[in-house]
Structure 1
């Protein structure tokens, strides 16, 4: 028999007996735990937990389970979400003129490696409308001229919000979308938007970062996937990775390696998010892998 499956995520002030009470609640309501992970942050005195379980007692309805757990959550002062484990989150991809991350995510989606639905691709350029069409995904061109006034930017973002609402989007992925989002849009997307950017030791900002890195002679290049906030490229980090490079590699080679790292790091972050493995912990994240 196939039973309904759920993923429960929660956080709260650390206290005794959290695992016991949660697992006891599930057992008392006809549920069987498939896997579970937990973490106690000793510095912040916060506790985090992710539980994947099945509801095996047909006498316990979905509504009754959620209502009963809400009572427990109030008693324990939990911040929690209960997700249908088989639901595929709806992800809107945004891109500008650099397409390696978009192409990688679309391939993973089409091949079943990324358990999502992609109802829309948004871009301020037309470069990838044919790629979107090859996957039968609607492509929305929302141009924004260089140096456009704030009113034009906000009008363009209003269309982005309209698409999010229309398609009931659960996550926005900035797959090398090279526009700075307004503070109001960042606030609306809090905890629901992921960005990717290069990571250098040391760091280089501005134009042609890989050429700058080559000129400096870096030995490590990498990428960071993080939540979008109003502080540019400083949101809570979800995933990072690096590759070692050396003096024999030119700027074009560094850029190619960097593109590969960006693809892998962004794909991991998106997959972990849609599997409800990422919990925010202030300016950091807890990622149950």
Structure 2
């Protein structure tokens, strides 16, 4: 069969979702669908999805039918719209709207954007199927890049929704499982105390691809030192500061090599590591230790790479 790779990829993605009981809590009222377009697709007929969507059976996610083409016009239009900006982003999955899910995505370093369906222009409303392409364009324009997460708060007769996008269905499903497991733990923490042993989240953080990484070359800044600008609170510099004790900072990399990519940076500008005194370097590496503990607690990786970036190159 032509395009067997895309169908097979969606099948594997469905298996991943069906084997994650925690994903049940992320399925919206209209049910979920995961789609993947063929390379170079420009019509919804070239997008694989699940006929009947992914529903809930006996408390677990369950695909109604086998993957096939022309199975989800909504999600297909979303993917086609994104591919007009980046043809490598060929897959998407819809989940229920919950602010806690967005907070988890933010902490995972995913780029998030949204659109308001109430602001949809009248000329767009008049054309069948134009809402989602308009929403995608609005979400991209809002942050100046392709988001990993696009959400809206619904409208009359329309359920609020979160959509996760990525290069292929398997990778999107793996990230969805990661989000679902973290969401489940968050719900347990906020609910009644549990005496049960916490289940290990095996393979829920295996996704290491970062779709925004390749955009760093287009990032323009006229500041002499990006870290000094962040330390000084320059409002024109995008940043994600997790910690700042006025001596050292912990930052999330705006263009991460992988999920959980953090940077520990001195607030004072140094051009050589040998300029740092013994007490200062002790504080710096004590903060590195604390940062490693944070990554281990949240991401639970099999290993951690620690490196020093010295010099302009």
Does TM, normalized by the shorter one, top 0.5? no
TM-score range relative to shorter protein: under 0.3
> Which structure has the highest strand share of the two?
1
Q: TM-score, normalised by structure 2?
A: 0.24
> Which structure has the highest helix share of the two?
2
